[in-house]
Amino acid sequence: GAAIRMTPAQWVQCDIRSLDYKVLGKFAVIMADPPWDIHMELPYGTMSDLEMRSMDIPTLQDDGYLFLWVTGRAMELGRELLDLWGYQRVDELIWVKTNQLQRLIRTGRTGHWINHAKEHCLIGKKGNVEHLNRGIDCDVIVAEVRDTSHKPDEVYGMIERLAPGERKIELFGRHHNVQPNWVTLGN
C-alpha cells in the first residue's frame, strides 16, 4: 500500500471563541473537548451553552467525522450541537477511567449524583465519508486518568486508523494533546 503521509504536530494558542475558522481550511476529523458549563467548580473557565451553539464548526469540514467529548448534563447539548452543526450521530465512544493500577476510578471529580468513572465521546459524520475507514476499532477505551483534559492516547491512534494521513484538528486542546497529523487549538 501507499505510505501514509505524516505532518508535524501543530499547536496554536488562541481563544477559540473569537478565531476565524476559515483561515484553517478543511479537516477530515475534528475532535473537541469543550469546557462545558456543567454547573460545578472546575479548574478552568467554561463556555455557556449559547457560546457553544454559536461556534462556527461547519466551516472546518465538508466531509468527515466529529468526535465530541461530553459529560453529565452536556450529553443532551452535545447531541443538539451535532444536529445544529450539520452532523448525523453515528456512534459513541466510551472511555472507562482507571488509576495507575488499572482499577476503576471511583472518586471522579464530575457527577452530581454519583461519581463518573467514564466519559462519552459522541461521533458524528457529515457529508461523504466513504473514503474513510470504519468498523476497525472497539467503542470502549480503558485507560488511565492523567492531567485535566488529557484524553487517552488510544483515541488518537483510533482516529488515525479511521482517517490515515488526513488532516485532523483538535479544539480546546492542551500542550499534552499535540500529535503528528493534527492541528491543536487551545490555551
Of the candidates 166, 170, 163, 175, which has an alpha carbon nearest to the alpha carbon of residue 185?
Answer: 170
Looking at residue 67, its pLDDT comes to 97
Of the candidates 151, 129, 128, which has an alpha carbon nearest to the alpha carbon of residue 70?
Answer: 151
**Residue ranges for the chain with pLDDT beneath 50:** none
**pTM over the 0.95 mark:** no
Looking at residue 110, its pLDDT comes to 58
CB distance 144 to 3 below 8 Å: no
The span from the CA of 9 to the CA of 179, in Å, is 5
Q: For 46-101, how does the pLDDT look when each residue is reduced to its tens digit (9 = 90+)?
A: 788 899 999 999 999 999 999 999 987 789 999 999 999 999 999 999 998 887 76
Looking at residue 150, its pLDDT comes to 75
CB distance 145 to 99 below 8 Å: yes
All three cell numbers of 17: 471563541
Terminal alpha carbon distance of the chain: 38
Looking at residue 6, its pLDDT comes to 78
